[in-house]
Amino acid sequence: MSTIKVLANDGIGATGKELLEEKGFEVITTRVAQEQLISFINDKSIEVLLVRSATKVGQDVLDACPTLRLVGRGGVGMDNIALQYAKNKGIPVINTPTSSAPAVAELVVAHLLTGIRFLHDSNRNMPLEGDHKFGQLKKSYSGATELRGKTLGIIGFGHIGQAVAQLALALGMKIMFYDYHPEERRITVPFFDGQEVHFTIAGSTLNEVLQQSDFITINVPAQKDYILGEKEIAKMKEGVGIVNAARGGTLDEAALVKALDNGKVAFAGLDVFESEPTPEIRILMHPKISLSPHVGGSTNEAQNRISEELAEQIINYFQ
């Protein structure tokens, strides 16, 4: 069998690359610009294309690249791939729905902790004013709250939502969730010494989650419409905190800014944005928003898990 060429256009972890190369695959990690992708695939006779969120695999790529036999997405969401069109052409599309979940969940909790302790704002102002307004800043950031004993509403209870629940339970929070599959879920919280604590959590309606949660996190795939807009925010508790580490377009940013300005929402944590990769200045500069540049799954450990899972699926497919 001739060597199968794999283009990992958005990178691949060392573990997965080694696994593939041990099995005789040629792994190319050259970063090819979107407008040059088709010609590169054809010139190099690429059979497997691996992407994350940066590279788009649209109908144009699938039609113009007859050597492509398999497309892989490192991560969960596949909105940057013409999924159904690929299936219709007989080109399988694989992804890694579990590998990035722990990393995304930790970022969600990081934004929650950052928000309740005003770290996003104090880290902006301490370098500028900490030497001459220390007491004033201390007073400004003293009215914090705690997560323990509070209710976290999780919208979307797949792998990532459940990973968020594990961490929140470990912090002493109560969990509510809304999902298209509302049946009870068993959540296991593991500890370093092998002990585990098990929780059974039943699904709630969206209205219940909105009305009863102290904090709300969005953990759903890309949607056609907002999950949280002005109408949904109006149903929330006063002073709620919102975190979106899912997809831009699931949260109405105009409604969010309005609610932040009038105090309905105390803070927000955003890893994804409606106008990504050029978020609006009013979002980037808002003192009540904790920000990160779509890095939910971007830990060394997650990237190695993702690459390993992709490599195993590729090897199994060609064997």
List, by residue number, the catalytic residues: 247, 276, 294
> Three-state SS for 267?
strand
- Its sign, for the CA torsion 37, 42, 44, 45, is positive
CA distance 288 to 297: 24
How would you list the strands of the sheet with 93-95, edge to edge? 26-28, 5-8, 48-51, 70-73, 93-95
Tokens representing 92 are 């399988």
Q: What are phi and psi of 240, to 5 degrees?
A: -70, 155
- The b-or-e profile of 266-303 (16+ CB within 10 A means b, else e) is bbbbbbbbbeeeebeeebeebebbbbbebebbbbeebb
